[in-house]
Amino acid sequence: MDLYELGAAAAANAIAEGRISSEELVASCLARIRIEEPRVQAWTFLDPDYALQQARAADEWKREGKTLGALHGVPVGIKDIIDTQDMPTENGTVLHAGRTPSEDASVVRMLRAAGAVIMGKTVTTELATYAPGKTRNPHNAEHTPGGSSSGSAAAVAAHMVPLALGTQTNGSIIRPAAYCGVIGFKPSFGLIPRHGVLKQSRSLDQLGVFARSVEDAALLAAQIIGYDERDPDTRPRAKPPLRDIAAQEPPVAPHFAFVKTPLWNKADPESHEAFAELVAHLGEQVEEFRFPPAFKEAWKWHQTIMEADIALNYEQEYAQGKDKLSESLRGQIERGRKLRAVDYNKALDEIPALNAVLQELFEQRFEAFLTPATTGTAPRGLESTGSPVFCTFWTLCGMPAITLPLMRGANGLPLGVQLVGPRGGDARLLRTARWLIEQVQAG
Catalytic residues: 79, 148, 172
Q: Which amino acid is at 249?
A: E
Query: Which residues on adjacent β-strands are paired with residue 257?
Result: 287, 369
> CA-CA distance, 357 to 399, in Å (whole number)?
13
For 371, residues 6+ apart whose C-beta sits below 8 A from its C-beta are: 258, 259, 260, 261, 390, 418, 419, 420
- CA-wise closest residue to 210 among 238, 243, 191, 186: 186
DSSP 251: S
Query: Which residues on adjacent β-strands are paired with residue 76?
Result: 118, 163
- CA-wise closest residue to 392 among 427, 425, 360, 354: 354
Dihedral angle sign, alpha carbons of residues 248, 254, 259, 260: positive
- Hey, how many other C-beta atoms are within 10 angstroms of the C-beta on 102? 7
**Which value, to the nearest 10 degrees, does the dihedral of the CA atoms of residues 376, 382, 383, 389 take?**
20
Q: Are 81 and 198 in contact (CB under 8 A)?
A: yes
Query: Which residues on adjacent β-strands are paired with residue 369?
Result: 257, 420
Q: Are 155 and 164 in contact (CB under 8 A)?
A: yes
> What DSSP line would sit under 10-62, residue for residue?
HHHHHHHTTSS-HHHHHHHHHHHHHHHHHHH--EEEE-HHHHHHHHHHHHHHH
- Hey, how many other C-beta atoms are within 10 angstroms of the C-beta on 28? 19
